[in-house]
A and B are shown apart, each in its own frame.
Chain A
Amino acid sequence: MSENFQRLRAIIDDKTLSPRQKAHYLALEAENMLPYPTLDAETTEALEARVICDMYEGHAPFKPRYVLPDFAKVLKNGSVYLELPAPQNLDEAINTLMIAYHHTPSVTGIPVYVGQLDDLLLPFCEGVSDEALYCKIKLFWRYLDRVLPDAFMHANIGPTDNRVARAILRVDAELKQIAPNLTFLYDPEISGDEILEMATNNIVECSKPHIANHPVHRDTFDTMGYGIVSCYNALPLAGGSSTMPRVNLAEVAKRATSSADFFQTLLPHYMELAFRLTEARVDYLYNHSNFFNSFLVDEGWIDPDRFTVMFGVFAMAEAVNILQDLEGHKGRYGFDDQANALGYEMSKMMAGIVENRPLENVWRGRAMLHSQAGLSTDAETTPGVRIPYGTEPDPVSHVQALAPHHQYYTSGISEILTVDETIKNNPEAMLQLCKGALSSGFREFTANVASNDLVRVTGYMIRLSDVAKFQACEGSRTNTTALGTEAAEMTGILDRKPRVVGHELSPSYGK
Chain B
Amino acid sequence: MTKRMGVDDILEIARKNRAFLSGITVSGGEATLQLKFIIALFEAIKADPDLRHLTCFVDTNGHLGPKGWARLLPVTDGVMLDIKAFDPGLHFRLTAQDNSKVLASAHTVYAAGKLSELRFLAIPGKTDTANEINRLAQFLKSFDAGIRVRLNAFQHHGVRGQALDWPKMEKAGIEHIMAELNAAGFNNVITPALYL
- Distance (Å) between the CB of A398 and the closest chain B CB? 11
A396 within 8 A of partner (CB): yes
In-complex Cβ contact of A439 among B16, B19, B196 (8 A) = B19
Asked if B193 and A424 make an inter-chain contact with CB atoms under 8 angstroms apart, the answer reads: yes
Residues of B contacting A400 with CB < 8 Å? 16
**Looking at chain A, what size class is its interface with the partner chain?**
10 to 19
Which residues, 1 to 49 on B, are CB-close (under 8 Å) to A? 16-17, 19-22
Instruction: Give Cα A396 to B21, complex, Å.
Output: 10
Residues of A contacting B192 with CB < 8 Å? 425
Instruction: Give Cα A437 to B21, complex, Å.
Output: 11
Residues of A contacting B22 with CB < 8 Å? 432
Asked if A421 and B20 make an inter-chain contact with CB atoms under 8 angstroms apart, the answer reads: no
Asked if A424 and B194 make an inter-chain contact with CB atoms under 8 angstroms apart, the answer reads: yes
- Distance (Å) between the CB of B68 and the closest chain A CB? 28
In-complex Cβ contact of A436 among B19, B193, B194, B196 (8 A) = B19
A290 within 8 A of partner (CB): no
Residues of A contacting B196 with CB < 8 Å? 421-422
Instruction: Give Cα A440 to B17, complex, Å.
Output: 10
Asked if A432 and B194 make an inter-chain contact with CB atoms under 8 angstroms apart, the answer reads: no
Asked if B20 and A425 make an inter-chain contact with CB atoms under 8 angstroms apart, the answer reads: no
Instruction: Give Cα A399 to B18, complex, Å.
Output: 13
- Distance (Å) between the CB of A340 and the closest chain B CB? 15
Asked if A425 and B17 make an inter-chain contact with CB atoms under 8 angstroms apart, the answer reads: no
Asked if B194 and A433 make an inter-chain contact with CB atoms under 8 angstroms apart, the answer reads: no
Residues of B contacting A436 with CB < 8 Å? 17, 19-21
Residues of B contacting A424 with CB < 8 Å? 193-194
Residue in chain B with minimal CB distance to A427: B193
Main secondary structure on B side of the interface with A: loop
- Distance (Å) between the CB of A403 and the closest chain B CB? 9
Instruction: Give Cα A440 to B16, complex, Å.
Output: 11
Residue in chain B with minimal CB distance to A425: B193
Instruction: Give Cα A193 to B96, complex, Å.
Output: 45
Residue in chain A with minimal CB distance to B19: A436
In-complex Cβ contact of B194 among A422, A435, A440 (8 A) = A422
Asked if B194 and A421 make an inter-chain contact with CB atoms under 8 angstroms apart, the answer reads: yes
Instruction: Give Cα A436 to B16, complex, Å.
Output: 11
Instruction: Give Cα A433 to B21, complex, Å.
Output: 8
Residue in chain A with minimal CB distance to B150: A425
Residue in chain B with minimal CB distance to A441: B19
Asked if B20 and A396 make an inter-chain contact with CB atoms under 8 angstroms apart, the answer reads: yes
- Distance (Å) between the CB of B80 and the closest chain A CB? 13
Asked if A432 and B21 make an inter-chain contact with CB atoms under 8 angstroms apart, the answer reads: yes
Instruction: Give Cα A432 to B18, complex, Å.
Output: 10
Residues of B contacting A425 with CB < 8 Å? 192-194
Asked if A433 and B20 make an inter-chain contact with CB atoms under 8 angstroms apart, the answer reads: yes
- Distance (Å) between the CB of B155 and the closest chain A CB? 11
Asked if A396 and B194 make an inter-chain contact with CB atoms under 8 angstroms apart, the answer reads: no
- Distance (Å) between the CB of B19 and the closest chain A CB? 4
Instruction: Give Cα A424 to B192, complex, Å.
Output: 9
Asked if B17 and A396 make an inter-chain contact with CB atoms under 8 angstroms apart, the answer reads: yes
Instruction: Give Cα A433 to B193, complex, Å.
Output: 19
- Distance (Å) between the CB of B117 and the closest chain A CB? 12
Which residues, 399 to 441 on A, are CB-close (under 8 Å) to B? 399-400, 421-422, 424-425, 432-433, 435-437, 439-440
16 more A-B residue pairs beyond the given contacts A422-B194, A436-B21, A440-B19, with a C-beta to C-beta distance below 8 A: A396-B17, A396-B20, A421-B196, A422-B196, A425-B193, A425-B194, A432-B21, A432-B22, A433-B20, A435-B19, A435-B20, A436-B17, A436-B19, A436-B20, A439-B19, A451-B194
What are some 14 contacts across the A-B interface (CB < 8 A)?
Answer: A399-B20, A400-B16, A421-B196, A422-B194, A422-B196, A424-B193, A432-B20, A432-B22, A433-B20, A435-B19, A436-B19, A436-B20, A439-B19, A451-B194
Q: Which residues of B come within 8 Å of A, CB atoms?
A: 16-17, 19-22, 192-194, 196
Q: Which residues of A come within 8 Å of B, CB atoms?
A: 396, 399-400, 421-422, 424-425, 432-433, 435-437, 439-440, 451
